[in-house]
Amino acid sequence: MRFFTRKWIKPQDLNSHGSLFGGILLQWIDEEAAIYVSCQLETRMIVTKYMSEIDFISSASAGDIVEIGMETVSFGRTSITVRCEVRNKHTRETIIKIDKIVFVQVDENRKPVPHGKTFENAPDPDIIST
């Protein structure tokens, strides 16, 4: 798992219990996953197709820094599947895990199109994200 993005939790990111609001975290995850996949497929023409079960393991509070990690699971003909883990930067405690987030490459009519990428020819995300 490669951790690319860090977010500082601010008061506006909290729910009524004073912990990180799950909806905010899912928004961050979807955005980071889309950026990761866009770099892997070398296109902006992608859509989120599917997210598997979302496993909330622990929480975070104002002032905590969270890291969002992505890893490619598989390449389909028109799709790419990634997994995500979010952890507390300081404690290394896992906050959330999502085993499958599927994106599909689409054309200008939003119809799926082949991307031609594999593990062998996809860009290295460490190079792309610098």
Answer whether residue 93 is part of any domain.
Answer: yes
The answer to whether residue 42 is domain-embedded is: yes
Residue 130 confidence (pLDDT): 33
**57 lies in which domain range?**
2-118
Among 58, 69, 82, smallest CA distance to 2 is for 69
Whether the model clears a pTM of 0.95, i.e. scores above it, the answer is: no
Average pLDDT, whole number, for the chain? 93
Length of the chain: 130
CA distances from 4 to 12, 69, 73, 77 (A): 23, 6, 17, 26
How many domains does the chain divide into?
1
44 and 29 Cβ atoms separated by less than 8 Å: no
Residue 129, domain member (yes or no): no
CATH number at residue 44: 3.10.129.10
What's the pLDDT tens digit per position in 41-93? Answer: 999 999 999 999 999 999 999 999 999 999 999 999 999 999 999 999 999 99
